[in-house]
Structure 1
Amino acid sequence: MAVRSPTDYGKVAVVYGGYSAEREISLVSGETVYQALINAGVDAHKVDPKVDGLSAITEQGFDRVWNALHGRGGEDGVIQGFLELHQIPYTGSGVMASAIAMDKLRTKLLWSAQGLPVAKHKMVSTGELSAADAKALLAELNGCVMVKPIHEGSSVGMAKADTVERLQQAVTAAQQFDREIMLEQWIHGEEYTVAILNGKALPSIRVETPHTFYDFKAKYNSSDTQYHCPSGLSADEELCLAGLSEKAFNALGCSGWGRVDFMRDSNSGDWLLLEVNTVPGMTQTSLVPKAAKVKGFNFEQLVLKVLDTSFDRTTALSANGEVK
């Protein structure tokens, strides 16, 4: 990839904040990205759609967008479609891949169809879950499940359930965030994550937390969560996980950058795919910067490398305004 000067990027909008349940984290990510771009000499400006409106993106003559919007409106193809209609290049995955990756159930269906490893799972539609249905679901999923809103990130609305009562309560709580809920068989093992940049996996990170699972508090409000990078895998295991990460990323049509999350079953040693984050966090405790540091580049360099992916998006826009 060519080394670019700050002026090559033109006028850059860092789009952050937004309307989703992850707004507060997006505000922090966007601020850190903005400061890194300013420090690098890039003509960067912050735009919060909730405060400034989307018109601020189209009316201020931006040449490209560094998308730091987490959750709905930012990772689900909505902002991507808006930017493509206005022929403004942006970082990360396109419309289709963003929409699919934001949907945990459809992501797993695609992975399963391509022979990639996932845990057993079921969908629950909005509505009261009867005791009989809850009992049947627990029996089908080995007695313990993770309850997940299908279209949320940052572990919002997630909970562990191993009894009928807890499952009913967790599904009711999750329905505050989504109309579709996924139940995933509880996996006993360690959690790993692999960042992808320009189609290549960065060093894996093993996440260790005293919490029941790597929840919102463990991610953003806890001082006792530990991140191991290098993760402690052997060279062969690291190579295997990198290859699986790239396959999972590409299977959804993702591009630019992102992060693939895994669990490793402690009994079988098998890797099980959880999800792909197409706009990972960029806070001081976020995971992609940790992997980038081990790879040999700092936060500012990472931010520029991600911004470089917007030039790939430029080539997808034809001269007559149609999206290829």
Structure 2
Amino acid sequence: MMDSGYDKFKDTAARYAELKNKLFIAVAAPAPSVPAAAAAVGGPIGQVLNNQYELKGELGEGGMAKVYEGLDRKTRKKVAVKKMHPWLKKFPEEHKRFVQEAKIVSRLTHPNIVGVQAIVEQEGEIYLIFDYVDGKTLADVLKEKGLMQFQECKNIFKGICDAVYYAHKANVIHRDLKPSNIMVTKENQALVMDFGLASELRESLTRVTHQTTSGTPAYMAPEQYVGIVKRESDIYAMGVCLYEMLTGKLPFMTGDIMQLKNDRSFRAASSELPWLPAGIDDIISRALAPEPSQRFADTKDFYDAIDKL
């Protein structure tokens, strides 16, 4: 069954790529100057959203949104503004579903979660107003450092575990945990962002292109390849993140990744770094169990196991 699902994944991934090229062709084009880039997606610098949030400058762009630094004119504090790419407007049901998901996520209030302050629909566009975090993504930190010392990794991972534990208790599954969705402040505090939102957009594409999967393949649990998502799927993604933080590498990198995941076939972290504490390999192996019920029951148990090393 899993092999069949993987074959479908490879086929639908090609269809996703084709549609993405059609819908996001502007993303692939060479980046123009900031004002021109902003104008191209209907979000010029200086625009004020909901008579409150002023766009001050462009921070970056991903496959699903353009990100701006903004100013909350009421509080005079910085915010981050994500303007969702306009393809969503073409599918009213998906537009409605995404807004509903964003409203659910906006209720999450936790010191290790990048909060959604507001959802603004203006001139047919969707803007998400986030807390502004002065820091870098974990992905960027790993690019700079290569890997992390165990204690530093442990400190950051605790924040991730706390955030996901809180969200799961609120019946919110992230579905796309990975280093680029985790912010790290200058004080080494971790804040998880985009709970369910990036994945919801990707699942919207899944529905309109008849794909069977969502998520980022390197971090996806085996069950996600056949369209099943549960709390344990987040545990699996966190196991991949932990391995990457400690070794600077992904556990499954080449070959038939789905088969490698089903076989739990990866190089032990301690074989890469023999000074890691005894027991870390067993913890990572449990988090990466192909069968969800064999993983940690929750992220609190996951972190407690690490904390006891």
Give the structure-2-normalised TM-score: 0.34
Which is helix-richer, 1 or 2? 2
Identify which of structures 1 and 2 has the higher relative contact order when contacts are C-alpha pairs closer than 8 Å and 6+ apart. Answer: 1
Which is strand-richer, 1 or 2? 1
